[in-house]
Chains A and B, each alone.
Chain A
């Protein structure tokens, strides 16, 4: 689906004061969007931007198991790559697949040299349903090169804490045994030399992803 971009109408000349007021309104809207507040009429699909979270922070260190059953030391295996990290679950119908479709689509657009310097890592935080096979099948829908990780509840909590996100929790199952998982909805990005840590909310469009991936691979956020 294509959404028409929103171009605000040209504003008439403003006084400095009204310009400042308007700027505050715009900033408030942008802040609300960036923070993903669910209040009021906010739409999840609004266009949003990545947020620079930290500079010169070391990427998280944790060890989980990949979909081939091998130990995967996150900081060692992803060192030197622009790394996109996401904690989700394969029974997630909305936010997770949208993020991954965006990233996969964006990677198809970037230069192949840049593509080689990107690793995308999905951590399945719902072990009862996120078997290595289920994770592999889910990721292959988007890109066979994406890394899928799993672990015990304890290992998964450690990984999420290392990444600075609140550990995922599972809702009580309904009569049918189905349940939703509450998990971090942002994608985290670590530049190749750990110069910058980025956070990407839902709403970063595929085009924007492609641009930011190329910039961050090149080591610049300009």
Chain B
């Protein structure tokens, strides 16, 4: 009796809830409601994917990282370099970006995931800084500080041109995000995903019951890197530009903020935090670009002090 109820409770967690359709309806509604903001919309969608990748590694596996931008930038530069050197096919460019980022995630993960806590945090930053420095110094290839220019992205399937109004870009990002979201949703509800939560909550016990902790952490780190790389590739292809700042600490930090604003470890935090952050940035930073940092810093402090769990956490609190 109780077992069957438990099974039922777990099954319910996996089933699609009608509310889960809401972000996608909103995205389609936004397409019709704000036709002049589609380029920003496409960026928001791609950044949601970036935040989703961070949620997987931070929210589910509990690995606090300051180096997520390494994978984002790796994907962006891979897609960008391909498109600038004669291979502008978007889908393969996207997959190549994900692959390179995953490879960097795997190789760096093998080295740095042996450590924990502050040392791990620092090493994620070191990996990102290493990549930043490498790209910066290889300016003959990457354009260094000036960013990568001269990308030519072909039509998607030879059918859809990346137009000036961002219509193609918007749907391209939306579809990629949707597919990745399906994949991430499956992962976090799978036994693998549950064991990640176990590792986050009590690593000793997971060791004790024989879970291959190190391998699982490495696998999720690599998956997350691939998603981040895909997000970077999306932004590179849709804006036809890659900046050195794609690899910077700022980007790793802000993706954490966006995620925290929405709520960590909930899968939907990214869908709330990223639009809020990016729309606010679009409004305020044109008025006051320097002091944008002040407000965002203040917001972080306030969220940590008073609104742990972000917007979704607040909802939970009201529901109870």
Partners in one complex: no
Seen from chain A, the residues whose Cβ lies within 8 Å of a Cβ on chain B are none
Which of B's residues lie within 8 Å of A, judged by CB? none
